[in-house]
Structure 1
Amino acid sequence: MHTILLCGGSGQRLWPLSGSIRSKMFLQLLPAPDGGTESMLGRVCRQLAHAGLDESLLLVAHQEQVALTQRYTGSRYPVIGEPCKRGTFTAAALGALHLLAAGKAQPEDIVCIAPADMFADDGFFRQFHQFEDILAASHAELLLLGTGPAYPSEQYGYIVPAQGDSGVYAPVLSFAEKPDVAGARELMRQQALWNCGVFASRLSFLLEHLERLGLPAESAALTALYPGLPVRSFDKEVAERSTRAVVVRHEGEWSDLGSWDTLTDRLPSQVIGEGGLWGECGNSQLINELGIPLHVIGVPGIVAVASPDGILIAGRKEANLIKDILMENSAKEMRYGETGWGSYTVLDRESGGAGLVLTVMLTLLLDHDIPERVCPHSAKTWMIVSGHGEVAVDGHTSAAAAGGSYTIARGQRHTVRAFSPMKLIEVRISEAGDDGKDYGC
């Protein structure tokens, strides 16, 4: 069986920590077995490996997140990039066609589609080993994994199984996508399950859906069509159209950590970062990425989150509204981001008639480098704050250490490599019309 892990997401519900590039699956917040912390993506990949499911694992991410995905998985697994975000069905199809084109899978092989941003126990992933036998025994074309609802949630989709069958699986009667609370209660009375977003089928089943939609069954051809494709979800396009689907019930732990309320229940401490919770602050959470303290006094049941991109103070149950607020208000450019080589923080941005002056703190990981490139419309100065490495300008390499300063003129080819973790400040002067968004270039 082949597992395709979908690493998408818009990064809005966990703002201001998450964004369009650093989505929630990259947040290094969850407790790890070694006593440290790990990301959602790192946790899921670790569990898949422990379950013996990583030998044929493929990750699908947006092309701008490929390097970051490789970084958070230690480059242990292949990652392919979507040119645009076009929904879970399109991402799953691209992954399946990649396996087919690479000769790693055949049409009769079983393919399991799973999201990267979920929190489940180890038994959840061990159930994947049953999928091939269940599909064969049930003669189903599609298998789904569901779990018993802990409460009537408006945030999850539901699967209604046939009743009276106490076996390993049950036929699917219907689906319900994110009902209101009253609808969720009624679904729970029907013994409905939360949809965990995990699907298994033969690869040929996905090829049939591509043919029905008039889409090519070849990865390069599908990639070429991406910009003009609509957003299609796997639930709507495949699951809800299936006439022979079965659901397997997971009895253990599962959630998708899609809100501040669900995520904070999994964090190792009520306070992460500088600051504190004082007085009556029961059920509150503080996360602070800024280098200045944040203190909350006598306010229970809230999340207080600060990052270079903004500050959120919200009731835990109401924090999901941030997604609607961000959609209604045109978001300003992100001031913090992560890359394959490290991270950047925009310290200052000044526009004038002559162009743009941008000041950015760049943080390089050990043995990483900013890819060599040329900036034809901007000049810059690099000032090394800490660490050591080397800077190359037009092929001339020199040692770089704290206190060093390097000037790069327009059109000069340049790069910097870290021999230890490095911090440097980049001051860039760009011509009018250059938005300066390619930090580190």
Structure 2
Amino acid sequence: MHTILLCGGSGQRLWPLSNHIRSKMFLELLPSPGGGRESMIGRVSRQLVRKGLGSSALFVTHKDQLGLTRRYTKDCFPVIGEPYKRGTFTAAALGAVYLHSTGQAKLDETICVAPADMFADDDFFEHFRVFPDILKTSQADIALLGTRPTHPSDQYGYIVPGLAASSEYSSVIRFEEKPVKLRAQALIQDNALWNCGVFAFSLRFILSYLDQMGLPTDFAELTAQYPALPVRSFDKEVVERTPNIAVIRHEGEWRDLGSWTSLTEQLHETVIGKGGIRGESRNTNIVNELDAPLYVLGVSDIVAVASPDGILIASKETANGIKEILGGSSVYPVYGETIWGSYSVLDRSGSELHAVLTIKLAILSDHHTKELFSRDCSKVWTVVSGDGDVILNGSAYPARVGDVFSIAAGVRHEIRAFTAMEWIEVRIGKERVDEALYVS
């Protein structure tokens, strides 16, 4: 069996901490077993390894998040990148076709597709192991994983099962996507399950499905067609059109940490970062990534979140409304992370003829940027902490605190850190100088 983990999302639901570069799964907020904090994707990676599923796992992400995914999974898994975001169906298909084209999976092997940001107990992953037997025994085309609802939520999809065919699985009668709460209550009374977004099927099934759609089953050919492909949901495109489906019931913990309410319920601290909560402030949380302190006095049931990208003060009940405010905003994030470190945009100034962009970059110890090249702008690097080498057109120069490097347009350049480093980068150019910020 092979497990494909999908890394997606627009990065709006947990704004301002998340953005389209650093989506929610990379936020190191969850308490980890050994102390400290871990990310959602880091937690899932740890659970996959613990349950013996790590050697057969493949992560599929957007190309801009390749490095970040490798960083937060500790580079322990293969990661492939989509050239464009085209929804869960296309991402799952790309992963399956990759396994087929590289000879890693045989036609009769089971492919399990799951979100990389799920939050569940370890027993949840035990169900992955039984998918091959469930598919064989039930003769279903697809097997799903559902969990018993804890309350009538209008944020989840519901699976309505038929009579249990055995103690291990049930057939599926129908689906209902995000019903109103009154309808959700009725569904729960009918023993409906929350849809966990986990799908299992044979490689043969998905390749046949692609063939019927006129899509290639070769990895290079499918990747080449990405620009013309529409956004497709696996639920809408495949699951709801397939009559023969089985579902496994999970009785333990499962949550979608896609809102500030659900996320803060899992935090052991009410204040993360500088600041504090005073007075009558029940069920209030602060998450602050800024150096400036953030205080909440006498206000209950809110979340106060600050990052270089912005500040959000909202009741937990209405915080998801930020998605409508942000809408289809194309503003580039002020803060981003990469496989080697992070960056923050400090200032944009100048004119169209002489645009100036100032960035602060941080690189992890024993890491390096990829080789960079710009035809349109020059750069000035000033080292403010740590030490390493700056590579200019293949030649290495020692870089220490206070050193300044002028990099003309057309010069190949990179930096290699021996210790953790910070430096200030000033870009100057006639064209837009922020179109190629550090994303890998």
TM-score, normalised by the number of residues in structure 1: 0.97
Equivalent positions of 1:38-437 (< 5 A) are 38-163=38-163, 167-327=167-327, 330-437=329-436
After superposition, the Cα gap between the structure-2 partners of 1:349 and 1:440, relative to the gap in structure 1 and judged at 3 Å, is: farther
Q: Residue type of the partner of 1:68? A: L
Aligned equivalents of 1:47, 1:146: Cα separation in 2: 19
Q: Residue type of the partner of 2:415? A: V
Aligned equivalents of 2:10, 2:352: Cα separation in 1: 34
User: Structure 1: which 4+ aligned runs deviate by more than 6 Å?
Assistant: none
Aligned equivalents of 1:82, 1:440: Cα separation in 2: 14
Number of equivalences:
440
Q: Residue type of the partner of 1:122? A: D
The 8 Å contact of residues 6 and 115 in structure 2, kept in 1 or not, is answered as yes
Q: Secondary structure at the match of 2:339?
A: coil
Q: Secondary structure at the match of 1:17?
A: coil
The 8 Å contact of residues 356 and 436 in structure 1, kept in 2 or not, is answered as no
Aligned equivalents of 1:118, 1:169: Cα separation in 2: 21
The 8 Å contact of residues 357 and 434 in structure 2, kept in 1 or not, is answered as no
The 8 Å contact of residues 355 and 433 in structure 2, kept in 1 or not, is answered as yes
The Cα shift of 1:373 comes to 2.1
Q: Secondary structure at the match of 1:391?
A: strand
Q: Secondary structure at the match of 2:54?
A: coil
Aligned equivalents of 1:96, 1:427: Cα separation in 2: 43
The Cα shift of 1:438 comes to 2.3
Q: Secondary structure at the match of 1:206?
A: helix
Aligned equivalents of 1:163, 1:257: Cα separation in 2: 30
Q: Residue type of the partner of 1:428? A: R
After superposition, the Cα gap between the structure-2 partners of 1:426 and 1:405, relative to the gap in structure 1 and judged at 3 Å, is: same
The Cα shift of 1:435 comes to 4.0
Aligned equivalents of 1:141, 1:349: Cα separation in 2: 54
Q: For residues 245-271 of structure 1, give each alpha carbon's deviation from its aligned partner in whole angstroms, at most 9, with x where no partner exists.
A: 011000000011011110111112110
Q: For residues 71-107 of structure 1, give each alpha carbon's deviation from its aligned partner in whole angstroms, at most 9, with x where no partner exists.
A: 1111111000001111111100100010011111011
Q: Residue type of the partner of 1:398? A: Y
The Cα shift of 1:49 comes to 0.7
Q: Residue type of the partner of 2:339? A: G
Q: Secondary structure at the match of 1:84?
A: coil
Q: CA RMSD in A?
A: 1.4
Aligned equivalents of 1:440, 1:235: Cα separation in 2: 30
After superposition, the Cα gap between the structure-2 partners of 1:440 and 1:66, relative to the gap in structure 1 and judged at 3 Å, is: closer
Aligned equivalents of 1:434, 1:361: Cα separation in 2: 15
Identical columns (%) = 56
Q: Secondary structure at the match of 1:100?
A: helix
Q: Secondary structure at the match of 2:17?
A: coil
After superposition, the Cα gap between the structure-2 partners of 1:433 and 1:387, relative to the gap in structure 1 and judged at 3 Å, is: closer
Aligned equivalents of 2:275, 2:215: Cα separation in 1: 53
The 8 Å contact of residues 42 and 72 in structure 1, kept in 2 or not, is answered as yes
The 8 Å contact of residues 84 and 226 in structure 1, kept in 2 or not, is answered as yes
Q: Secondary structure at the match of 2:327?
A: helix
Aligned equivalents of 2:239, 2:439: Cα separation in 1: 43
Aligned equivalents of 1:138, 1:128: Cα separation in 2: 16
Q: Residue type of the partner of 2:366? A: D
TM-score, normalised by the number of residues in structure 2: 0.97
For structure 1, list consecutive stretches of 5 or more residues without a partner in the other structure.
none
The 8 Å contact of residues 90 and 232 in structure 2, kept in 1 or not, is answered as yes
The Cα shift of 1:353 comes to 4.3
Q: Residue type of the partner of 1:107? A: L
The Cα shift of 1:433 comes to 4.2
Q: For residues 252-292 of structure 1, give each alpha carbon's deviation from its aligned partner in whole angstroms, at most 9, with x where no partner exists.
A: 00011011110111112110000011111111110000110
The Cα shift of 1:212 comes to 2.1
The 8 Å contact of residues 4 and 113 in structure 2, kept in 1 or not, is answered as yes
Q: Secondary structure at the match of 2:370?
A: strand
The 8 Å contact of residues 70 and 79 in structure 1, kept in 2 or not, is answered as yes
Q: Residue type of the partner of 2:198? A: V
The 8 Å contact of residues 159 and 194 in structure 1, kept in 2 or not, is answered as yes
The 8 Å contact of residues 387 and 402 in structure 1, kept in 2 or not, is answered as yes
The 8 Å contact of residues 355 and 433 in structure 1, kept in 2 or not, is answered as no
After superposition, the Cα gap between the structure-2 partners of 1:110 and 1:164, relative to the gap in structure 1 and judged at 3 Å, is: closer
Aligned equivalents of 1:178, 1:289: Cα separation in 2: 33
Q: For residues 314-369 of structure 1, give each alpha carbon's deviation from its aligned partner in whole angstroms, at most 9, with x where no partner exists.
A: 111111111111116x3532100011111100000013143211110000011111
After superposition, the Cα gap between the structure-2 partners of 1:214 and 1:103, relative to the gap in structure 1 and judged at 3 Å, is: same
After superposition, the Cα gap between the structure-2 partners of 1:33 and 1:127, relative to the gap in structure 1 and judged at 3 Å, is: same
Q: Residue type of the partner of 1:267? A: L
For structure 2, list consecutive stretches of 5 or more residues without a partner in the other structure.
none
The 8 Å contact of residues 394 and 412 in structure 2, kept in 1 or not, is answered as yes
Aligned equivalents of 2:111, 2:342: Cα separation in 1: 34
Q: Secondary structure at the match of 1:374?
A: coil
Q: For residues 163-202 of structure 1, give each alpha carbon's deviation from its aligned partner in whole angstroms, at most 9, with x where no partner exists.
A: 3656211000000111111221121121110000011111
